[in-house]
Structure 1
Amino acid sequence: MKKLLALLVLAGTANYAAAEVVGNAKAAADNKIAQCVGCHGIAGYKSVFPEVYSVPMIGGQSAKYIESALNAYKKGDRTHPSMRGIAMSLSDQDIADLAAYYSQKK
């Protein structure tokens, strides 16, 4: 009985881990883009912390690229301090929603 229960738990965990979070562009537009538009919504914008850095326009990037970049900031693989702080505050759903929103923009 214990083995069967353990297998069921393991199978349920595997299915949960494999579930992909689906982004909702409208949810991002309604309440999640405020942190982004101040820098990424201004053509030619340059940040000055921690150094002068040309901020990329992210509209039109693929959703997978945006998700990958935000997750890399969240894990510390990308090191821009402002982006890391923002990414660490985002849930997987937030990241998927933002990626869906910006992938549809030009």
Structure 2
Amino acid sequence: MTLRAKTAVRALPALAATVLFAMSGQVCAQDTAVVGDPKAAQGKISMCIGCHGIPAYKAAFPEVVHVPKIAGQNAEYIVVALQEYASGARSFPTMQAIAQNLSPQDMADLAAYYSNLK
């Protein structure tokens, strides 16, 4: 067997492992997609409407900020925002406290609910 053939034979397991790893990542990414249910969110919105349900509301803690309108916002954007608050990538104490207590399903449900409002 030539040196080239031996090298190719040795490389096959690594190549196969790389392909399997890449494919498993794609399968996992597809399996972890959470579909939101707007009806399920109705029991979860009480923590949101106190600020986001009041037109032109401004929160006063820890500083005065305009609370954004989330009705009609893109669902994916809402989920990402909640994930970022939960991880600390976005900083606002009230939102961080709320988001850290939400499951991925809760986030998806809330996003589905608010994205369907106008």
TM-score, with structure 1 as normaliser: 0.84
Is residue 2:81 matched to residue 1:69?
yes
SS of residue paired to 2:36: coil
Is residue 2:96 matched to residue 1:84?
yes
SS of residue paired to 1:39: helix
1:62, 1:13 → 2: CA distance? Answer: 26
Is residue 2:84 matched to residue 1:98?
no
Rg larger for: 2
Can you give the 5+ residue segments of structure 2 that lack an aligned partner in the other structure?
1-16
Can you give the 5+ residue segments of structure 1 that lack an aligned partner in the other structure?
1-6
Q: Deviations over 1:3-58 (max 9, x none)?
A: xxxx9xx88786344321000000001x1100000000000100000000000110
1:13, 1:78 → 2: CA distance? Answer: 27
Which one of the candidate residues 22, 45, 55 is aligned to 2:57?
45
SS of residue paired to 2:80: helix
Q: Deviations over 1:37-94 (max 9, x none)?
A: 0000000100000000000110000000100100000110000000000000000000
Letter in 1 for 2:51: C
Number of aligned positions between the proteins: 97
TM-score, with structure 2 as normaliser: 0.76
What percent identity do the matched residue pairs reach?
53
Which one of the candidate residues 47, 50, 54 is aligned to 1:35?
47
